[in-house]
Amino acid sequence: MTETKITARNVDVFYGQKQAIDNVSIDIDDGMVTAFIGPSGCGKSTFLRSLNRMNDTIADARVTGEIRLDGEDVYAASMDPVALRARVGMVFQKPNPFPKSIFENIAYGPRIHGLVQNKTDLDEVVEKSLVKAGLWEEVKDRLHDAGTALSGGQQQRLCIARAIAVSPEVILMDEPCSALDPIATARIEELIDELKDNFAIVIVTHSMQQAARVSQRTAFFHLGNLVEYGETSQVFTAPRNEKTKDYITGRYG
C-alpha cells in the first residue's frame, strides 16, 4: 500500500521578482523513487529545495503555497528547519563530505540531534549507515581517514550514509551521479533501489535512462510548471503532453 509522504499544493517560488516555480501541486509517495526531469533552468532544484526549506538559506528566495510532510505544515512557524532537514535529507550534485574523518562525517548528525546516548550507540549508527550506503566494506579499516580522501563515488555514498544516519523519512537527491563515472553511477542506482523500501526518495536527473531505471514516478517540469506527472512507465512510453514527448525524445533539452 502506498502512502503519501509529501503533499505540495499551489507552490510558487520567487527569487526577488523572478518567478521560478509556478503553481506546482504534487503528491510524493513513500516507499518509492520519484524522478524530477526537465530542461536546465526549469526549476527542478528550486522545487526540490522548497521541500526541506533549503531555499530559506537563499536571501531573496520566497516560497508560497503549501507543503506538508505527513500532514505537518513544513513552513509553519513551529517547524524547526534544522530538524526538518534531518527528516528530509539532501544529497547534492557534487559530493560534499565535511572536512573531517569518515567516522565523524556520519557521527556528526546523530550526535547533534541527540539520537545516541553513548559511544557504543554511536559506533553502531556509524556502521549501520555505512552498511546501508554500501560503503562499509571499503572503509571499515580506515574510519579515521579524511572523508575527502575517498574517491568521488565513495564520497557520494558517504554523503548518502550521512543523510541516512539521522533516520530521515525522505531523501532528496539533486543530480547525485552527474560527477560520477558509469560504474560509480550504477552503484548509486543500485543503492537508491535498495533504499526506496525504507524512504521516500526524490531524484533530479538529466539522464532519461537513469529516470527510467530508478524511478517509479516521474514529474516533468518545464519553465517552472509541472507539466506531467505519472507512473514512470507511462510518462516514458505514452506521455500525455506534447512537451513531455518532445523532451523525452530529445527534441529539446
Ligand X SMILES: Nc1ncnc2c1ncn2[C@@H]1O[C@H](COP(=O)(O)OP(=O)(O)OP(=O)(O)O)[C@@H](O)[C@H]1O
The least distance separating Mg ion from the CB of residue 220, rounded to whole angstroms, comes to 14
Q: How many angstroms separate the CA atoms of 80 and 88, rounded?
A: 12
DSSP, collapsed to helix, strand or coil, labels residue 36 as strand
User: By CB under 5 A, is residue 50 in contact with Mg ion?
Assistant: no
State in angstroms the smallest separation of the CB of 204 from Mg ion. Answer: 6
Contact flag: residue 92 with ligand X (CB under 6 A)? no
Cell numbers of 15, please? 527569487
Give the range of 26-34, 42-50, 64-72, 98-106 binding ligand X by CB under 6 A: 42-50
Residue closer to ligand X (CB basis): 43 or 89: 43
Q: Which of 9, 25, 41, 140 binds ligand X (CB under 6 A)?
A: 41
- Tell me phi and psi for residue 127, to 5 degrees: -65, -50
Our CA angle for 190, 37, 32, nearest 5°, is: 45
Residue 205 interacts with ligand X (CB under 6 A)? Answer: no
In eight-state DSSP terms, residue 147 is: G
Q: How far apart are CA 234 and CA 216, in angstroms?
A: 10
What minimum distance in Å lies between the beta carbon of 209 and ligand X?
Answer: 16
Burial class of 251 by CB neighbour count within 10 A (0 to 12, 13 to 18, 19+):
exposed
Strands 72-73 and 61-69 come out as antiparallel
Site string for ligand X, 50-79 (x = CB under 6 A): --------x---------------------
Instruction: Specify the stretch interacting with Mg ion by CB under 5 A; choose among 23-31, 38-46, 120-128, 244-252.
Output: 38-46
Asked whether position 227 contacts ligand X by CB under 6 A, the answer is: no
Between residues 122 and 204, which has the closer beta carbon with respect to ligand X?
204
| 156 scored as a contact of Mg ion (CB under 5 A) | no
What do you get for the CA distance between the two ends of the chain, in Å?
35
Of 7, 12, 14, 15, the one binding ligand X by CB under 6 A? 15
* 119: exposed, middle or buried (Cβ count in 10 Å: 0-12, 13-18, 19+): exposed
Q: Which of Mg ion, ligand X, none is residue 40 near (CB under 5 to 8 Å by kind)?
A: ligand X
Number of residues lying near ligand X (CB under 6 A): 11
Q: Phi first, then psi: give them for residue 247, nearest 5 degrees.
A: -70, -50
Residue ranges that bind ligand X, judged by CB under 6 A = 15, 20, 38, 40-46, 58
Positions touching Mg ion (CB under 5 A) are 45
